[in-house]
Amino acid sequence: IYLGTKTYQEAWELQKQLFEKRAEGLIEDTLVLVEHAPVYTVGRAGIAATDAHSAAAEHAPTEIKVRKLCSVPVVEVERGGKLTFHGPGQLVGYPIFALPHHDLRRYLRDMERILMSTLAEETMLPARPCPETLLLEPGQLQTGVWVRDHKIASIGIAVKRWVTYHGFALNLRTDLRYFEAVEPCGFQGSIMTTLEREMGADANIE
């Protein structure tokens, strides 16, 4: 399902509806593709870090001001991971899939492989998983797709009753200033890149 441009809340509600139908066996595996208006989302790891500091929790931001751009809302969601950005020029995918193998690590690695192979086939870019030298913690499962030493795609999922929702965000021509205003997934904002920057050409969602 390609939604075009939708608010995060609209796509989130659709995900939850599709999730319930997939969990009940009423629909087949479904991939939702969408582009969002600017929004920051905070996953379970980011929420847990805030909750661990009660003073910080009282002042958790509901929006973040991005210099020379705009104020961007912050939404807490049930996916894994920390804070990241969604916005124009980014292709976001929400797989609503039943996992017969019940293996979350395998599912995450499968998603990485699909993104990497698609990038390699369509653009010839040297896409790969997170380089060992850039792991935030030794032995940590750091998801996402990288081109050289810059991150081009982020992954954050939720799974209930072995049905997946949330998913991936691939930066095509995203304004990187939105990332530079925060620490996306715990990294410095400057670590992020786009298809347009890496190819030196226009990268369209269509």
How far, CA to CA in Å, does 81 sit from each of 47, 157, 187, 193? 9, 8, 12, 19
Query: How many Å apart are CA 42 and CA 75, to the nearest integer?
Result: 6
Count other C-beta atoms under 10 Å from residue 19's C-beta. 22
Count other C-beta atoms under 10 Å from residue 161's C-beta. 11
DSSP letter at 55 equals H
pLDDT of 164: 97
Cα maximum dimension of the chain: 48
pLDDT of 52: 39
Query: Would you call 103 helix, strand, or coil by DSSP?
Result: coil
pLDDT of 69: 83
pLDDT of 204: 56
Beta pairing partners, 86: 39
Q: Indicate the residue type of 173.
A: R
What is the pTM assigned to this prediction? 0.87
State which residues of the chain have pLDDT below 50. 48-59, 205
pLDDT of 50: 44
Active site (catalytic) residues:
185
Query: How many Å apart are CA 182 and CA 189, to the nearest integer?
Result: 6
Residue ranges of alpha helices (H) inside 124-182 are: 177-180
